[in-house]
Amino acid sequence: MFRGRAFGLLKSLHLMDGQPNLACKFIHPAITSHVHHCQKRNVNYRQSYKTGPSSAGGRTLNVPQTKVMAEQELPGVLILDIGGIHGVLPNIVALLQKHFRLITMKEFLENKKEMSKKIQSVFVFERRPTIDQELLESLPNLKVIANSGVGVDHLDLKMISNFGVKVTNTPHAVADTTADIGMALMLASARRLVEGCQIVISPDTKYFAVDWLGVEVTRATLGIIGMGNIGYKVAQRAKAFEMKILYHNRNQRKKEEEQAVGAHYCEKMEDLLQQSDFVMLALNLTPETCKLIGKRELGLMKPTATLINISRGAVIDQDALVEALQKKVIMAAALDVTDPEPLPRDHPLLKLNNIIITPHIGTATVQAIRMMAEEAIANMLAVLNGQPIPSEVFPK
Protein backbone atom coordinates (compact mmCIF):
# COMPACT_ATOMS: atom_id res chain seq x y z
CA MET A 1 0.00 0.00 0.00
CA PHE A 2 2.88 2.30 0.71
CA ARG A 3 4.79 1.63 -2.47
CA GLY A 4 6.08 4.28 -4.74
CA ARG A 5 9.02 6.58 -5.19
CA ALA A 6 9.62 10.17 -4.41
CA PHE A 7 9.45 11.87 -7.70
CA GLY A 8 10.25 15.37 -7.62
CA LEU A 9 9.43 18.17 -5.70
CA LEU A 10 7.28 20.73 -4.10
CA LYS A 11 8.44 24.26 -3.54
CA SER A 12 8.79 25.34 0.03
CA LEU A 13 5.21 26.00 1.10
CA HIS A 14 4.48 28.49 3.85
CA LEU A 15 1.40 29.24 5.88
CA MET A 16 -0.58 32.28 4.84
CA ASP A 17 0.44 34.16 7.95
CA GLY A 18 4.07 33.85 6.93
CA GLN A 19 5.02 31.20 9.48
CA PRO A 20 7.24 28.47 8.05
CA ASN A 21 5.99 24.94 7.78
CA LEU A 22 8.03 23.05 10.34
CA ALA A 23 6.54 19.69 9.44
CA CYS A 24 8.60 17.43 7.27
CA LYS A 25 7.76 17.94 3.59
CA PHE A 26 6.04 14.93 2.10
CA ILE A 27 8.29 12.47 0.42
CA HIS A 28 7.10 8.90 0.08
CA PRO A 29 8.84 6.84 2.78
CA ALA A 30 9.78 3.90 0.57
CA ILE A 31 13.55 4.00 0.25
CA THR A 32 14.85 4.83 -3.21
CA SER A 33 18.31 5.65 -4.40
CA HIS A 34 17.51 9.31 -3.86
CA VAL A 35 15.51 9.36 -0.64
CA HIS A 36 16.44 8.26 2.86
CA HIS A 37 13.73 6.72 5.02
CA CYS A 38 12.24 9.17 7.50
CA GLN A 39 10.36 8.21 10.65
CA LYS A 40 10.06 11.68 12.16
CA ARG A 41 8.27 14.69 10.75
CA ASN A 42 10.86 17.33 11.51
CA VAL A 43 13.69 15.85 9.50
CA ASN A 44 15.65 17.38 6.64
CA TYR A 45 15.81 14.93 3.78
CA ARG A 46 19.11 14.50 2.00
CA GLN A 47 18.32 14.20 -1.67
CA SER A 48 19.69 14.90 -5.12
CA TYR A 49 17.48 17.88 -5.89
CA LYS A 50 18.17 21.60 -5.71
CA THR A 51 17.54 23.24 -2.38
CA GLY A 52 17.69 26.73 -1.05
CA PRO A 53 17.32 28.41 2.32
CA SER A 54 13.85 29.09 3.67
CA SER A 55 12.88 31.89 6.02
CA ALA A 56 13.38 29.49 8.91
CA GLY A 57 16.81 28.40 7.81
CA GLY A 58 15.43 25.11 6.53
CA ARG A 59 15.42 23.69 3.02
CA THR A 60 13.42 24.83 0.02
CA LEU A 61 12.09 22.17 -2.33
CA ASN A 62 11.89 23.21 -5.97
CA VAL A 63 9.26 21.90 -8.35
CA PRO A 64 11.01 20.83 -11.55
CA GLN A 65 9.99 22.73 -14.69
CA THR A 66 7.86 20.06 -16.32
CA LYS A 67 5.81 20.10 -19.48
CA VAL A 68 2.67 20.75 -17.47
CA MET A 69 4.18 23.53 -15.38
CA ALA A 70 5.83 25.14 -18.40
CA GLU A 71 2.53 25.69 -20.16
CA GLN A 72 1.02 29.14 -20.03
CA GLU A 73 -2.13 27.98 -18.27
CA LEU A 74 -1.97 25.88 -15.13
CA PRO A 75 -3.82 22.55 -15.17
CA GLY A 76 -7.34 22.76 -13.80
CA VAL A 77 -8.29 21.04 -10.56
CA LEU A 78 -11.91 20.67 -9.51
CA ILE A 79 -12.82 21.34 -5.87
CA LEU A 80 -16.18 21.59 -4.17
CA ASP A 81 -15.82 25.16 -2.97
CA ILE A 82 -13.46 27.64 -1.34
CA GLY A 83 -14.21 28.08 2.34
CA GLY A 84 -17.67 27.66 3.79
CA ILE A 85 -18.97 24.63 5.67
CA HIS A 86 -17.67 21.97 3.29
CA GLY A 87 -15.20 23.89 1.13
CA VAL A 88 -11.42 23.72 1.01
CA LEU A 89 -9.72 25.71 3.77
CA PRO A 90 -8.14 29.01 2.67
CA ASN A 91 -4.56 28.01 3.55
CA ILE A 92 -4.95 24.82 1.49
CA VAL A 93 -6.33 26.87 -1.38
CA ALA A 94 -3.12 28.91 -1.29
CA LEU A 95 -1.04 25.75 -1.67
CA LEU A 96 -3.13 24.43 -4.55
CA GLN A 97 -3.05 27.74 -6.42
CA LYS A 98 0.73 27.55 -6.74
CA HIS A 99 0.35 24.59 -9.09
CA PHE A 100 -3.22 24.53 -10.38
CA ARG A 101 -6.07 26.66 -11.58
CA LEU A 102 -8.87 26.03 -9.08
CA ILE A 103 -12.33 25.43 -10.49
CA THR A 104 -15.17 25.18 -8.00
CA MET A 105 -18.13 22.90 -8.55
CA LYS A 106 -20.38 25.94 -8.99
CA GLU A 107 -18.09 27.38 -11.65
CA PHE A 108 -17.97 24.02 -13.41
CA LEU A 109 -21.74 23.55 -13.42
CA GLU A 110 -22.32 27.08 -14.72
CA ASN A 111 -19.96 26.59 -17.66
CA LYS A 112 -19.56 22.86 -18.24
CA LYS A 113 -18.60 23.08 -21.90
CA GLU A 114 -15.52 25.21 -21.27
CA MET A 115 -14.51 23.99 -17.82
CA SER A 116 -14.80 20.28 -18.58
CA LYS A 117 -11.86 20.57 -20.98
CA LYS A 118 -9.65 22.33 -18.44
CA ILE A 119 -10.10 19.95 -15.51
CA GLN A 120 -7.34 17.33 -15.26
CA SER A 121 -7.56 16.63 -11.52
CA VAL A 122 -10.13 16.48 -8.75
CA PHE A 123 -9.05 17.31 -5.20
CA VAL A 124 -11.31 15.49 -2.76
CA PHE A 125 -11.32 17.25 0.61
CA GLU A 126 -13.38 15.84 3.46
CA ARG A 127 -14.98 13.32 1.04
CA ARG A 128 -16.22 16.08 -1.30
CA PRO A 129 -17.04 16.58 -4.14
CA THR A 130 -19.00 13.40 -4.76
CA ILE A 131 -17.49 11.35 -7.56
CA ASP A 132 -20.16 9.62 -9.63
CA GLN A 133 -20.50 8.34 -13.18
CA GLU A 134 -22.17 11.51 -14.40
CA LEU A 135 -19.25 13.64 -13.23
CA LEU A 136 -16.67 11.29 -14.74
CA GLU A 137 -18.47 11.27 -18.08
CA SER A 138 -18.40 15.06 -18.14
CA LEU A 139 -14.61 15.33 -17.63
CA PRO A 140 -12.89 13.98 -20.77
CA ASN A 141 -9.41 15.15 -19.74
CA LEU A 142 -9.53 13.95 -16.14
CA LYS A 143 -6.41 12.01 -15.15
CA VAL A 144 -6.38 11.79 -11.36
CA ILE A 145 -8.61 12.00 -8.31
CA ALA A 146 -6.51 12.99 -5.31
CA ASN A 147 -8.13 12.08 -2.00
CA SER A 148 -6.99 13.92 1.12
CA GLY A 149 -6.91 11.16 3.72
CA VAL A 150 -6.36 7.43 3.74
CA GLY A 151 -9.86 5.96 3.53
CA VAL A 152 -11.35 5.72 0.04
CA ASP A 153 -14.56 3.89 0.89
CA HIS A 154 -16.47 6.87 -0.53
CA LEU A 155 -14.91 6.29 -3.96
CA ASP A 156 -15.95 3.59 -6.43
CA LEU A 157 -12.45 2.55 -7.44
CA LYS A 158 -13.51 0.11 -10.15
CA MET A 159 -15.81 2.62 -11.81
CA ILE A 160 -13.14 5.32 -11.72
CA SER A 161 -10.54 2.91 -13.11
CA ASN A 162 -12.84 2.09 -16.01
CA PHE A 163 -12.55 5.73 -17.05
CA GLY A 164 -8.75 5.45 -17.05
CA VAL A 165 -8.45 7.77 -14.05
CA LYS A 166 -5.92 7.28 -11.26
CA VAL A 167 -6.84 7.50 -7.57
CA THR A 168 -4.40 8.55 -4.86
CA ASN A 169 -4.55 9.04 -1.10
CA THR A 170 -2.37 10.50 1.66
CA PRO A 171 -1.38 7.71 4.08
CA HIS A 172 1.75 9.35 5.43
CA ALA A 173 0.21 12.67 6.41
CA VAL A 174 -2.42 11.19 8.72
CA ALA A 175 -0.73 8.38 10.64
CA ASP A 176 0.70 10.34 13.56
CA THR A 177 -2.28 12.56 14.18
CA THR A 178 -4.78 9.68 13.94
CA ALA A 179 -2.69 7.62 16.35
CA ASP A 180 -2.68 10.61 18.70
CA ILE A 181 -6.47 10.78 18.75
CA GLY A 182 -6.61 7.05 19.44
CA MET A 183 -4.43 7.47 22.50
CA ALA A 184 -6.40 10.55 23.56
CA LEU A 185 -9.69 8.64 23.40
CA MET A 186 -8.24 5.72 25.32
CA LEU A 187 -6.90 7.96 28.09
CA ALA A 188 -10.02 10.13 28.24
CA SER A 189 -12.27 7.10 28.52
CA ALA A 190 -10.09 5.27 31.04
CA ARG A 191 -9.82 8.29 33.34
CA ARG A 192 -13.38 9.55 32.64
CA LEU A 193 -12.17 12.99 31.63
CA VAL A 194 -15.36 14.11 29.91
CA GLU A 195 -17.49 13.17 32.93
CA GLY A 196 -14.99 14.86 35.20
CA CYS A 197 -15.15 18.09 33.23
CA GLN A 198 -18.94 18.03 33.39
CA ILE A 199 -18.84 17.60 37.16
CA VAL A 200 -16.45 20.51 37.60
CA ILE A 201 -18.47 22.97 35.53
CA SER A 202 -21.90 21.87 36.74
CA PRO A 203 -23.67 24.53 38.89
CA ASP A 204 -25.03 21.69 41.04
CA THR A 205 -21.61 20.40 42.13
CA LYS A 206 -20.92 20.94 45.85
CA TYR A 207 -18.13 18.38 46.39
CA PHE A 208 -16.04 15.84 44.49
CA ALA A 209 -16.93 12.21 45.27
CA VAL A 210 -14.03 10.12 46.58
CA ASP A 211 -15.40 6.95 44.96
CA TRP A 212 -15.39 8.43 41.44
CA LEU A 213 -12.75 6.17 39.88
CA GLY A 214 -11.33 5.34 36.50
CA VAL A 215 -8.91 2.64 35.34
CA GLU A 216 -5.23 2.76 34.45
CA VAL A 217 -3.82 2.56 30.96
CA THR A 218 -0.25 1.90 32.07
CA ARG A 219 0.60 -1.82 31.87
CA ALA A 220 -2.91 -2.67 30.60
CA THR A 221 -3.41 -4.89 27.53
CA LEU A 222 -4.14 -3.12 24.25
CA GLY A 223 -5.50 -5.04 21.29
CA ILE A 224 -5.08 -3.31 17.92
CA ILE A 225 -7.22 -4.52 15.03
CA GLY A 226 -5.59 -3.26 11.85
CA MET A 227 -1.80 -2.97 12.12
CA GLY A 228 -1.13 -0.75 9.15
CA ASN A 229 0.65 2.56 9.34
CA ILE A 230 -1.79 4.06 11.86
CA GLY A 231 -2.06 0.92 13.97
CA TYR A 232 1.71 0.68 14.20
CA LYS A 233 1.95 4.32 15.28
CA VAL A 234 -0.55 3.52 18.04
CA ALA A 235 1.65 0.63 19.14
CA GLN A 236 4.69 2.90 19.30
CA ARG A 237 2.82 5.23 21.64
CA ALA A 238 1.37 2.40 23.72
CA LYS A 239 4.86 1.03 24.31
CA ALA A 240 5.68 4.20 26.26
CA PHE A 241 2.80 3.31 28.60
CA GLU A 242 4.32 -0.14 29.14
CA MET A 243 1.21 -1.71 27.66
CA LYS A 244 1.05 -5.31 26.55
CA ILE A 245 0.29 -5.01 22.85
CA LEU A 246 -1.67 -7.58 20.87
CA TYR A 247 -2.64 -7.11 17.25
CA HIS A 248 -4.71 -8.76 14.57
CA ASN A 249 -4.04 -7.94 10.95
CA ARG A 250 -4.54 -9.43 7.51
CA ASN A 251 -0.79 -10.04 7.38
CA GLN A 252 1.64 -10.49 10.24
CA ARG A 253 4.25 -7.78 10.66
CA LYS A 254 7.95 -8.57 10.33
CA LYS A 255 9.57 -9.91 13.48
CA GLU A 256 11.82 -6.89 13.86
CA GLU A 257 8.80 -4.58 13.61
CA GLU A 258 6.97 -6.59 16.27
CA GLN A 259 9.98 -6.56 18.55
CA ALA A 260 10.46 -2.80 18.15
CA VAL A 261 7.11 -2.13 19.83
CA GLY A 262 6.72 -5.36 21.79
CA ALA A 263 3.66 -6.45 19.80
CA HIS A 264 2.29 -10.00 19.69
CA TYR A 265 0.35 -11.27 16.68
CA CYS A 266 -3.06 -12.88 17.16
CA GLU A 267 -3.98 -14.93 14.12
CA LYS A 268 -7.55 -15.13 15.40
CA MET A 269 -9.29 -11.89 16.28
CA GLU A 270 -11.27 -13.74 18.95
CA ASP A 271 -8.11 -14.33 20.98
CA LEU A 272 -7.34 -10.61 20.96
CA LEU A 273 -10.87 -9.66 22.00
CA GLN A 274 -10.87 -12.03 24.96
CA GLN A 275 -7.53 -10.80 26.37
CA SER A 276 -7.61 -7.03 25.80
CA ASP A 277 -8.49 -4.30 28.29
CA PHE A 278 -8.71 -1.83 25.40
CA VAL A 279 -9.57 -2.77 21.81
CA MET A 280 -8.65 -0.18 19.18
CA LEU A 281 -9.95 -0.37 15.61
CA ALA A 282 -7.52 1.06 13.04
CA LEU A 283 -8.47 -0.74 9.85
CA ASN A 284 -9.84 0.26 6.47
CA LEU A 285 -13.54 -0.06 5.72
CA THR A 286 -14.10 -2.70 3.04
CA PRO A 287 -16.99 -5.07 2.30
CA GLU A 288 -15.16 -7.62 4.45
CA THR A 289 -14.71 -5.32 7.45
CA CYS A 290 -18.17 -3.73 7.41
CA LYS A 291 -19.79 -4.50 10.79
CA LEU A 292 -16.75 -6.56 11.73
CA ILE A 293 -17.48 -5.89 15.39
CA GLY A 294 -20.99 -7.11 16.17
CA LYS A 295 -22.90 -8.72 19.01
CA ARG A 296 -20.77 -11.87 18.99
CA GLU A 297 -17.46 -9.98 19.04
CA LEU A 298 -18.61 -7.59 21.76
CA GLY A 299 -19.68 -10.58 23.81
CA LEU A 300 -16.16 -11.97 23.66
CA MET A 301 -14.67 -8.84 25.21
CA LYS A 302 -14.07 -8.42 28.92
CA PRO A 303 -16.89 -6.72 30.85
CA THR A 304 -14.22 -4.22 31.97
CA ALA A 305 -12.99 -3.54 28.42
CA THR A 306 -13.26 -0.39 26.33
CA LEU A 307 -13.78 -0.31 22.55
CA ILE A 308 -12.07 2.53 20.65
CA ASN A 309 -12.73 3.27 16.98
CA ILE A 310 -10.50 5.56 14.90
CA SER A 311 -11.21 3.95 11.53
CA ARG A 312 -14.72 4.14 10.07
CA GLY A 313 -18.06 4.02 11.85
CA ALA A 314 -19.41 1.19 9.72
CA VAL A 315 -16.85 -1.34 10.99
CA ILE A 316 -19.03 -1.57 14.12
CA ASP A 317 -22.61 -2.79 14.25
CA GLN A 318 -23.90 0.26 16.13
CA ASP A 319 -27.14 -1.40 17.22
CA ALA A 320 -25.09 -4.16 18.82
CA LEU A 321 -22.84 -1.57 20.45
CA VAL A 322 -25.82 0.27 21.95
CA GLU A 323 -27.05 -2.98 23.47
CA ALA A 324 -23.60 -3.92 24.77
CA LEU A 325 -23.16 -0.55 26.48
CA GLN A 326 -26.66 -0.50 27.92
CA LYS A 327 -26.32 -4.02 29.34
CA LYS A 328 -22.71 -3.46 30.50
CA VAL A 329 -21.42 -6.24 28.26
CA ILE A 330 -18.40 -3.97 27.92
CA MET A 331 -17.50 -1.08 30.19
CA ALA A 332 -17.23 1.76 27.69
CA ALA A 333 -16.63 2.92 24.14
CA ALA A 334 -14.76 5.88 22.65
CA LEU A 335 -15.48 6.72 19.02
CA ASP A 336 -14.02 9.28 16.66
CA VAL A 337 -16.21 7.94 13.86
CA THR A 338 -19.85 6.91 13.54
CA ASP A 339 -22.23 5.88 10.78
CA PRO A 340 -23.65 8.29 9.72
CA GLU A 341 -21.80 11.44 10.71
CA PRO A 342 -23.20 13.18 12.59
CA LEU A 343 -25.60 10.75 14.23
CA PRO A 344 -29.30 11.67 14.31
CA ARG A 345 -29.96 13.79 17.39
CA ASP A 346 -32.19 11.09 18.87
CA HIS A 347 -29.71 8.24 18.35
CA PRO A 348 -29.43 6.02 21.46
CA LEU A 349 -25.63 6.25 21.50
CA LEU A 350 -25.96 9.94 22.33
CA LYS A 351 -27.97 9.15 25.44
CA LEU A 352 -25.43 6.87 27.11
CA ASN A 353 -23.00 7.99 29.81
CA ASN A 354 -20.38 5.30 29.16
CA ILE A 355 -19.35 6.53 25.71
CA ILE A 356 -17.25 9.35 24.28
CA ILE A 357 -17.90 10.49 20.71
CA THR A 358 -15.79 13.06 18.89
CA PRO A 359 -16.66 14.56 15.47
CA HIS A 360 -14.18 12.64 13.28
CA ILE A 361 -11.22 14.80 14.25
CA GLY A 362 -8.49 12.19 13.82
CA THR A 363 -6.76 14.27 11.15
CA ALA A 364 -8.00 17.68 12.29
CA THR A 365 -4.74 19.40 13.11
CA VAL A 366 -3.06 22.33 11.39
CA GLN A 367 -0.05 20.19 10.57
CA ALA A 368 -1.93 17.15 9.26
CA ILE A 369 -4.29 19.12 7.03
CA ARG A 370 -1.34 20.91 5.47
CA MET A 371 0.62 17.70 4.99
CA MET A 372 -2.40 16.03 3.39
CA ALA A 373 -2.60 18.88 0.89
CA GLU A 374 1.11 18.66 0.14
CA GLU A 375 0.90 14.91 -0.33
CA ALA A 376 -2.15 15.25 -2.59
CA ILE A 377 -0.40 17.92 -4.65
CA ALA A 378 2.62 15.66 -5.03
CA ASN A 379 0.38 12.84 -6.22
CA MET A 380 -1.44 15.03 -8.75
CA LEU A 381 1.76 16.49 -10.17
CA ALA A 382 3.25 13.02 -10.50
CA VAL A 383 0.30 11.80 -12.55
CA LEU A 384 0.17 14.89 -14.76
CA ASN A 385 3.92 14.78 -15.37
CA GLY A 386 4.03 11.05 -16.08
CA GLN A 387 6.20 10.31 -13.06
CA PRO A 388 5.98 7.51 -10.46
CA ILE A 389 2.95 8.06 -8.21
CA PRO A 390 3.84 8.10 -4.50
CA SER A 391 0.47 6.96 -3.13
CA GLU A 392 -1.72 5.35 -5.77
CA VAL A 393 -4.77 3.35 -4.70
CA PHE A 394 -5.75 0.38 -6.84
CA PRO A 395 -9.17 -1.27 -7.16
CA LYS A 396 -9.39 -4.73 -5.64
- Active-site annotation, residues: 312, 341, 360
Listing DSSP states for 83-115 in one string gives: STTTSBPHHHHHHHHTT-EEEEHHHHHHTHHHH
The rounded distance, in Å, linking the Cα atoms of 123 and 275 is 42
Would you put residue 242 in left (φ > 0), alpha (ψ -120 to 50) or beta?
left
Q: How many CA atoms lie within 13 A of 220 on its CB side?
A: 19
216 contact partners, CB below 8 Å, separation of at least 6 = 190
**Cβ distance 121 to 144 under 8 Å?**
yes
Helix (H/G/I), strand (E/B), else coil: 11? coil
Bridge partners of 225, per DSSP, are 248, 281
User: Which residues, listed in sequence order, are joined to residue 244 by a DSSP beta bridge?
Assistant: 221
Whose CA is closest to 170, among 394, 7, 379? Answer: 379
Bond prior to 129 in cis (omega within 30° of 0): yes
Q: Are strands 278-281 and 76-79 parallel, antiparallel or unpaired?
A: unpaired
Q: Three-state SS across 207-235?
A: CCCCCCCCCCCCCCEEEEECCCHHHHHHH
